[in-house]
Structure 1
Amino acid sequence: MDIKQLWLNVQDLWGALDEHPLLHSSLGLLVLLVVALLLGRVARYLILHAVKLLGRQPPLHWLNDLRHNKVFHRLAQMTPSLVIQFGLYLVPDLSKTATLFIGNVALAFTILFMTLAVSALLNALLDIYARTEHARTRSIKGYVQLAKMVLFVFAAIIIVATLIDRSPLLLLSGLGAMSAVILLVYKDTLLSFVASVQLTSNDMLRVGDWIEMPQVGADGDVVDITLHTVKVQNFDKTIVSIPTWRLMSESFKNWRGMQAS
Structure 2
Amino acid sequence: MELIKNMIEGIGLNSEIGGYMSYGIMVLSITLLCILANFITKKVFIKIISHVTYKNNIQWNLILLERKVFHKCSHVVPAFIIYYFSYTFPSYQHLIEIGAVSYMIIMGLLVMDSLLDAVNDIYKSYEISKIKPIRGYIQVVKIVLTIVCGILVIANLIGESPLILLSGIGAISAVLMLVFKDSILGLVAGVQLTANDMVRVGDWIEMPKYGADGDVIDISLNTVKVQNFDKTITTIPSYTLISDSFKNWRGMQKSGGRRIKRSIFIDTSSICFCTNEMLERFKSIHYLTEYILDKEREIQNHNKNLQIDTSNRVNGRALTNIGVFRTYIDQYLKNHHMIHQNMTCLVRQLASGETGLPLEIYAFTNSTEWQVYEAVQSDIFDHIFAIAPEFGLRIFQNPTGYDVKSLSTVSLSNYSRGGAI
**TM-score normalised by length of structure 2:** 0.56
Q: Mark the CA change 1:144 to 1:252 in structure 2 (over 3 Å): closer, same or farther.
A: same
- Residues 54 and 63 in structure 1, CA contact (< 8 A), matched pair in contact too: no
Q: Which amino acid aligns with 2:175?
A: V
1:214 aligns with 2:208: yes
1:106 aligns with 2:106: no
Structure 1 residue 190 corresponds to structure 2 residue 184 = yes
The structure-2 alpha-carbon separation of the partners of 1:29 and 1:14, relative to structure 1 and needing over 3 Å to count, comes to: farther
2:144 counterpart (150, 158, 182): 150
- CA-atom RMSD in angstroms: 2.2
Out of 214, 219, 225, the residue aligned to residue 231 of structure 1 is 225
**1:88 partnered with 2:86:** yes
Matched residue, 1:5: none
Distance 1:53 1:105, change over 3 A: same
Residue 181 (1) aligns with residue 175 (2): yes
Q: Does 1:49 align with 2:43?
A: no
Residues 34/16 of structure 1: CA separation in 2 closer, same or farther (3 Å cut): farther
CA contact (8 A) 1:218 1:232 kept: yes
Classify 1:143/1:253 alpha carbon distance in 2 versus 1 (closer, same or farther; 3 Å). Answer: same
Q: For 1:166, what is the secondary structure of its paired residue?
A: coil
The one of 63, 73, 77 equivalent to 1:75 is: 73
Aligned to 2:249: 255
> How many residues in Structure 1 have an aligned counterpart in Structure 2?
250
Residue 139 to residue 209, structure 1, CA distance change in 2 (3 Å): same
- Identify unmatched segments of 5+ residues in structure 2: 1-5, 256-421
Correspondence for 1:4: none
Q: Deviations over 1:198-232 (max 9, x none)?
A: 10111011111121211111122211111111111
Q: Which moved more, 1:54-63 or 1:144-153?
A: 54-63
Which aligned runs of 4 or more in structure 1 are off by greater than 6 angstroms?
A: none
1:153-164 to 2 correspondences below 5 Å:
153-164=147-158
Task: Measure, in 2, the Cα distance between the counterparts of 1:14 and 1:248.
Answer: 80
8 A Cα contact 2:8 2:18, kept in partner: no
Structure 1 residues 25 and 187 mapped into 2: Cα distance closer, same or farther (>3 Å)?
same
- Which residue number in structure 2 is paired with residue 134 of structure 1? 128
Range that drifts further, 36-45 or 112-121: 36-45
The match for 1:123 is 117
Look at both structures and tell me which one has the larger radius of gyration over its CA atoms.
Answer: 2
Counterpart of 1:58 in structure 2 is: 56
Any stretches of 5+ residues in structure 1 without a counterpart? 1-7
- CA contact under 8 A between 1:44 and 1:77: conserved in structure 2? no
Q: 1:17 to 1:60 in 2, by over 3 A?
A: farther
Corresponding residue number in structure 1 for 2:37: 39
Q: How far is the alpha carbon of 1:66 from its aligned partner? A: 0.7
Provide the rounded CA distance (Å) in 1 between the counterparts of 2:12 and 2:53.
Answer: 48
Using the TM superposition, name which of 174-183 and 16-25 deviates more: 16-25
Q: Deviation of residue 99 (structure 1)? A: 1.0
CA distance 1:228–1:133, change in 2 (3 Å)? same
* Cα displacement (A) at 1:137: 2.5
Higher relative contact order (CA 8 A, sep 6+): 1
> What SS does the aligned partner of 1:236 have?
coil
Q: Secondary structure at the match of 2:225?
A: strand
Return the TM-score normalized by structure 1. 0.87
Give the structure with the larger helix fraction.
Answer: 1
State how far apart, in whole Å, the 1-side matches of 2:95 and 2:103 are.
Answer: 13
Q: Distance in 2 between matches of 1:164 and 1:78?
A: 22
- Measure, in 2, the Cα distance between the counterparts of 1:11 and 1:179: 59
- Counterpart in the other structure of 1:3: none
